[in-house]
Amino acid sequence: MRRIRFTLAYDGTDFHGWQVQPGQVTIQGTLQEILSELEGGPVILHGSGRTDAGVHAMGQVAACTMANPLPLANLQKALNRFLPEAIRVLSVSEAEANFQPRFDAVAKTYEYRIARGEICSPFERRFVHHFPYPLDEAAFLAAAPYFAGEHDFSTFAAADARDELDYSKVRTIFSSEAFREPGRLIYRVRGSGFLKHMVRNLVGTLLEVGKGNHVPADIPRLLSARDRSLGGATAPGSGLFLVSVEYPTSVRLTGG
């Protein structure tokens, strides 16, 4: 048996998120089905995290255990041949037997894209949140750095079935920045981990700042309140990308 690590990119528009769900087409489910066909038996694929419905990835990391001796390059070609065009396997490597994409990760980077023009091109509508309304962009930009640091992010976390287990909602954000590109606002955040809908809720709150319902200096108060009702609405999944997942150098890869 060998442990195989995959780096994946996908357009999440037509999928019901990453995680397998009965009766729904998901990224994980689609990959597992093909891997199981190649293996000739059930294969369980673990990802670095669960992206929501409509959310995209440029560098999702996943891993599974297989007995199939197919060379890595051939495995990558086979997967890309049978996968829908919305999912691509960017790289395949062998990892140590205990590699866990979620628990071994030390940082993840997400990016959220907001289209600001009056008209949204049909060629980018799947990959942005179109927001052509009045917005104080300077306030939006100024508020973003306030999320950096170690905080309890309960105000920005959606309800989760695991809440009854009373897991900590403290996370460390290494960097949080917003900037302009032609016709767009971009929010980019890198952290130790993220709660359900957290990035989309951060963006929703930045939009509330831009609309004048909060000022940038309100962010520490919202964090301290630990009250989801005080945070902004959840921004649409279409604008969100999982950019990359980082691992310590001690996580050894071979082959590829």
**207: three-class secondary structure by DSSP:** helix
Is the domain of 111 the same as that of 238?
A: yes
Q: Domain total for the chain?
A: 2
| In contact, 151 and 183? CB cutoff 8 Å | no
Last residue of a domain, one of 77, 104, 131: 104
The identity of residue 82, as a single letter, is F
Mean pLDDT throughout 178-196? 96
Indicate if 48 and 61 belong to the same structural domain: yes
pLDDT tens for each residue of 219-250: 999 999 999 999 999 999 999 999 999 999 75
Q: Are residues 86 and 205 in the same domain?
A: no
Q: Strand locations in 132-247, DSSP E? A: 149-152, 170-181, 184-191, 240-246
pLDDT for 249 equals 79
Quote the CA–CA distance of 191 and 85 in Å, as a whole number: 30
228, part of any domain: yes
In this structure, the answer to whether residues 111 and 233 fall within a common structural domain is yes
Looking at 81, 104, 127, the residue that finishes a domain is: 104
Q: Active-site residue among 11, 52, 104, 163?
A: 52
Express each pLDDT in 79-88 by its tens digit. 999 999 999 9
Report the CATH number at residue 89.
3.30.70.580
If asked whether residues 115 and 239 sit together in one domain, one would say yes
Residue 94 belongs to domain spanning: 2-104
More confident residue, 166 or 218: 218
* The last residue of a domain, from among 57, 75, 104: 104
Cβ atoms 144, 191 nearer than 8 A:
no
pLDDT tens digits along 43-59:
999 999 999 999 999 99
What is the secondary structure of 124-162 as a DSSP string?
Answer: TGGGSEE--S---HHHHHHHGGGG-EEEE-GGG----GG
Give the pLDDT confidence of 143-169 residue by residue, as tens digits.
999 999 999 999 999 877 566 566 889
Kindly state whether residue 56 falls inside one of the protein's structural domains: yes
Q: Is 136 assigned a catalytic role?
A: no
Which pLDDT belongs to residue 159?
79
Q: What is the CATH number of the domain that holds 112?
A: 3.30.70.660
Quick one: 187 and 135 in the same domain? yes
DSSP code of residue 230? G
